[in-house]
Structure 1
């Protein structure tokens, strides 16, 4: 497959430097505005493209893939998570799917740690008071939060991001606890001074802060269900920078409204960009617009990964970041 004949359709605006390099290498159809493609536009794209470059906001389901032309051989996802792509349909059609692992680990871990610090210390509330001109001066009992040092952090998913969060947490004096599909290597466990919990239920009942860092899969959908959320101590906080679907958002909202949880820091939601209206009115909830990985450096690194995957595929070789596929 000759690189200069490959038609690449990019669904969202990417950093200028990445788009420039794509135009130099391929026949590229860019999305020059910040709006996502409609379903009809995605269907038109897969009919003619050799390579599709979607993002997390693009639902590439079986209905779209069923309209794909025979030329579509690669979906080079701009992002790590691929839960928005129907992998079974892609595999059935012989379409290779790649992603951009590793490059967002540190950025997402930074944002996770920022929420772990910000929510118990009420940073969003304090900033709002100052911005609105309502600060009346210092008082010894005003805007009291809770100390982070010495608290128990429970990490759900000790993969790349989870372990990066654990390293940061140790620096702030938190004790690290974790639940994972498989226990990590003893060397890593010792390095992080981490305590493994085979039972998620038992860990949830014993930690002060919960950080959700597992991917969204059928097995993790509503992993934090209404039943499990009731196991969490009422003084605890929940932070989610993974995917909104991992938590039963309605159950979480009910508990926050009722005061059965101390607070939450949420960067992801079940029906983005829609957010449960009841969450918007809660002072103990810090809401962010899915910006956990939003750094210029990270976005450029993601683009570099996409370029390498496309170029390698175009040269007839296996892309380095394959999720599925042997379409050669």
Structure 2
């Protein structure tokens, strides 16, 4: 049995789980295989088992059909929108998931909120990025959070945690999602508002929706036009929820003034991408789930899934 562990960018997977206990050979891919089907299928054609890191490498119906030896696909986490589960089932490919922790994404959301509020994208320097000659010691005026309004778009598992932390900063928390009730919002100390109210009243608006047909493009020109000058939009959820064209236009007008983003339509984000040339964008390379604790859970779970499947009793089966 040949096992492929994909997108191990930090080259840490082999140290975070007991791969040696598995039958066969495990190969770790530390570089992104690319977006082209030919390159991905050529690299994976001989593998029976593939471990995918979240949604870094999509497995569409066409791509799965070009992998005749694939019998088990393991994704880190229990949800992966980039895997065609119906196609996998038709092709006889078992798809399994792993446990995970929501705290890493919540913490990174707040890292981005604080970075934007205090303009760390401009002010930060270190031994690797020293202050340039002639650069002022201080360049910006930060935004205090106490007393400001935090808008949470999607008050599920992640959004609820973000909301509670907002209260610790003495922010007024408002929230909206399609099925949110006033009672549910009150449970986490938030005020239920309309979608229009969410965008027009938020000083900081953070997105925590699940990606679906309904939420794709849910934040577009109309919604962004409601945001206040000086406000901050944060997206650690899914890129497709926010219309990129509308966001670039809105940032040019100054409302919102900043967009702190951890997710993008194309990942890895190509060099010279327009978002990297747009003033007001603070970007991190999809780090919301990238912590040692989280990866240990992911990779240990993946190895356990493989062992169970090889023993004839698959666990954590998706779809």
TM-score w.r.t. the length of structure 2 is: 0.85
For 1:131, the equivalent position in structure 2 comes to: 131
Q: 1:36 matched to which residue of 2?
A: 33
SS across alignment from 1:76? strand
2:230 maps to 1:235: yes
For residue 62 of structure 2, what is the aligned residue in structure 1? 63
Question: RMSD value over aligned CA atoms?
Answer: 2.8
CA 1:237/1:54 → structure 2, altered by over 3 Å: closer, same or farther? same
**What is residue 166 of structure 1 aligned with on the other side?**
163
User: Superposed, which structure 2 residues align to 1:40-189 within 5 Å?
Assistant: 40-44=38-42, 47-55=45-53, 56-69=55-68, 72-79=70-77, 81-103=79-101, 105-127=102-124, 131-137=131-137, 143-183=140-180, 186=183, 189=185
- Give the SS at the match of 2:260: strand
- The answer for the alignment partner of 1:290 in structure 2 is 286
Equivalent of residue 312 in structure 1, options 300, 303, 308:
308
Q: CA–CA distance in 2 between the matches of 1:106 and 1:130?
A: 32
Alpha-carbon separation, structure 2, partners of 1:258 and 1:210: 17
Instruction: Find 2:196's aligned residue among 201, 205, 209.
Output: 201
Q: What is the alpha-carbon distance in structure 1 between the residues aligned to residue 177 and residue 231 of structure 2?
A: 20
Report deviation, 1:46.
5.8
Deviations 1:34-64 (A, max 9, x none): 3326633532466543322123221211111
Unaligned residue ranges in structure 1 (runs of 5+): 1-5
Per the alignment, residue 3 of structure 1 pairs with none
2:255 alignment counterpart: 260
* Matches of 1:286 and 1:150, distance apart in 2: 23
Aligned partner of residue 183 in structure 1, secondary structure: coil
- Aligned positions, number: 311
Counterparts in 2 of 1:282 and 1:225: CA distance versus 1, 3 Å: closer
- Cα separation, 2, equivalents of 1:205 and 1:114: 23
Matched, 1:280 2:279: no
Q: Using structure 1 for the length normalisation, give the TM-score.
A: 0.83
Give the distance between the partners of 1:22 and 1:185, measured in 2 at CA.
48
Question: Given the superposition, is the C-alpha separation of residues 32 and 203 from structure 1 closer, same or farther in structure 2, using an over 3 Å criterion?
Answer: closer
- Cα distance in 2 for partners of 1:134, 1:160 equals 46
Q: Which runs of 5+ in 2 are unaligned?
A: none
